[in-house]
């Protein structure tokens, strides 16, 4: 298998990327509970901090994947093409290669016939939609519900534990104004914005792209198309995390987004996950963990890292260059990821 794991520290100022509700004229930013160690008291406390959900990030990722699908001549279903990621969540959304009448009959089958139908359904969906191939789907309306676990995973973006004090939430006053002041034309409203050093983590199971996985492992597309799907999946991850192209309220609340540091691992045979960016020494800790992982499992792990000038000057994050490939920009991290992953893929052919 080929497994990609990523963690990054991101400085995000004045952002409203994930809003959860409006109460009157007040729009709230998403919050999440976070357990924090109080060194002075020697205890753990719970603090509610600004957060950006993995669902919000995953939505943007899937949008980018549909955009790259066109460039790479990859199929996308009608729903995903317009950003409606219900992904077989309605009974009528069946693969084009399975007729409606045949599907209704097959969905009532039992035993081995139902299992075979579930396998064929997954294979047909993978062929017809790269988004559902990479990001998974669930069709619960057949005798055996057809579930494809997402190859891409995202965690909540939450403030870094070692910098949780440098976190702020503030309601910003806005007004819609007209000189004539006609009834209903003027409005006062508040939008909560947050600033913090966030940590974002993600992983991608490259080895499952283009293959069925629910009933049995079987290729659903050609080797050439699978290569294009892998490239598109990595490019979509670059746009989402490398470029920070995700979240809501970007038309008037576009935040200042800067990746401070990042560590990426590409492992073969068994999945290796990098250490989370909540610790300033997370790159060093990842290097140590990768060394032990290789010794215990015999798997291969390649590490790629980026540390911004700001983090280097502050002495916050260091990357031992003798054990990890250190690049000079975030963009080059993803360029190196593509090179390493595609090299692993071609070696596996």
Q: What is the pLDDT of residues 205-219, one digit of tens each?
A: 999 999 999 999 999
Which residue bears the tokens 């403030």? Answer: 159
* % of the chain beyond a pLDDT of 90: 73
Is the same domain home to 298 and 253? yes
The whole-angstrom separation of Cα 301 and Cα 326 is 15
Phi, psi of 296 (to 5 degrees): -75, -45
Assess whether 27 and 130 both reside in one domain.
Answer: no
**What is the pLDDT averaged over residues 293-305?**
95
Same domain, 322 and 275: yes
Say yes or no: 228 and 82 in one domain: yes
Query: What three-state secondary structure class fits 279?
Result: coil
Q: Residue 187: which domain range?
A: 19-51+157-196
Based on the fold, state whether residues 190 and 201 are members of the same structural domain.
Answer: no
Bridge partners for 305 per DSSP: 263, 326
pLDDT of residue 208: 96
Same domain, 249 and 101: yes
Asked if 9 and 88 sit in the same domain, the reply is yes
- In this prediction, residue 7 carries a pLDDT of 97
Mean pLDDT computed over 65-71: 97
Of the residues 196, 221, 249, which one is the last residue of a structural domain? 196
Averaged pLDDT score across all residues of the chain: 91
Flag whether pLDDT at 312 surpasses 90: no
Per-residue CA distances from 171 to 1, 248, 314 (Å): 47, 16, 30
Question: In this structure, are 34 and 103 located in the same domain?
Answer: no
Is the model's pLDDT at 226 over the cut of 70?
A: yes
Q: What is the pTM of this model?
A: 0.93
Predicted confidence (pLDDT) at residue 175 exceeds the cutoff of 80: yes
Q: Can you read off the two tokens belonging to residue 153?
A: 């995973």
pLDDT value, residue 101: 54
Q: Are residues 169 and 297 in the same domain?
A: no
User: Does pLDDT of 240 surpass 60?
Assistant: yes
Does 192 share its domain with 338? no
Give the pLDDT score at 339: 95
Specify the pLDDT at position 249.
93
The C-alpha atoms of residue 163 and residue 279 are separated, in whole angstroms, by 9
Number of domains in the chain: 2
CA distance 120 to 87: 16
Between the two ends of the chain, the Cα-to-Cα distance in Å is 12
What confidence category does residue 346 fall into, taking pLDDT thresholds of 50, 70 and 90? confident
Both 181 and 306 in one domain: the answer is no
Mean pLDDT of 27-44: 90
**Single residue among 165, 180, 196 that ends a domain in this structure:** 196
Looking at 131, 165, 196, the residue that finishes a domain is 196
The answer for residues whose C-beta is within 8 angstroms of residue 44's C-beta and 6 or more apart is 35, 36, 37, 38
The C-alpha R_g of the chain, in whole angstroms, comes to 23
Residues forming a β-bridge with 130: none
Domain match, 43 and 82 both: no
């Amino acid at each position: 298998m080929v497994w990609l794991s990523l963690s990054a520290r991101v400085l995000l100022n004045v952002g409203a990327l994930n809003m959860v509700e409006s109460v009157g004229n007040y729009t709230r930013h998403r919050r999440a509970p976070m357990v924090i160690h109080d060194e002075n008291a020697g205890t753990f406390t719970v603090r509610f901090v600004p957060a950006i959900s993995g669902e919000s990030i995953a939505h943007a990722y899937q949008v980018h994947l549909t955009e790259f699908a066109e460039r790479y001549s990859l199929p996308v279903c009608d729903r995903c093409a317009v950003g409606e990621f219900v992904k077989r969540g309605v009974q009528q959304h069946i693969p084009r290669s399975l007729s409606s009448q045949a599907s209704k009959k097959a969905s009532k089958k039992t035993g081995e016939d139902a299992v075979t139908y579930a396998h064929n359904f997954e294979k047909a969906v993978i062929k017809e939609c790269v988004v559902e191939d990479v990001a998974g789907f669930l069709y619960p309306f057949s005798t055996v519900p057809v579930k494809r676990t997402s190859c891409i995973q995202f965690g909540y973006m939450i403030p870094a534990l070692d910098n949780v004090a440098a976190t702020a939430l503030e309601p910003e006053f806005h007004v819609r104004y007209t000189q004539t002041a006609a009834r209903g034309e003027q409005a006062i409203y508040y939008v909560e914005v947050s600033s913090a050093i966030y940590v974002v983590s993600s992983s991608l199971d490259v080895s499952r792209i283009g293959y069925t996985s629910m009933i049995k492992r079987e290729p659903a597309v050609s080797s050439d198309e699978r290569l294009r799907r892998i490239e598109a999946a990595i490019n979509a991850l670059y746009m989402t995390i490398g470029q920070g192209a995700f979240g809501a309220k970007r038309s008037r609340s576009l935040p200042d987004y800067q990746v401070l540091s990042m560590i990426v691992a590409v492992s073969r045979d068994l999945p290796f996950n990098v250490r989370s960016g909540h610790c300033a020494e997370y790159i060093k800790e990842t290097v140590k963990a990768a060394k032990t992982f290789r010794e215990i499992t015999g798997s291969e792990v390649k590490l790629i890292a980026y540390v911004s000038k700001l983090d280097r000057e502050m002495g916050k994050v260091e990357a031992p260059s003798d054990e990890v490939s250190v690049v000079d920009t975030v963009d080059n991290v993803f360029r190196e990821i593509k090179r390493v992953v595609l090299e692993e893929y071609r070696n596996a052919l």
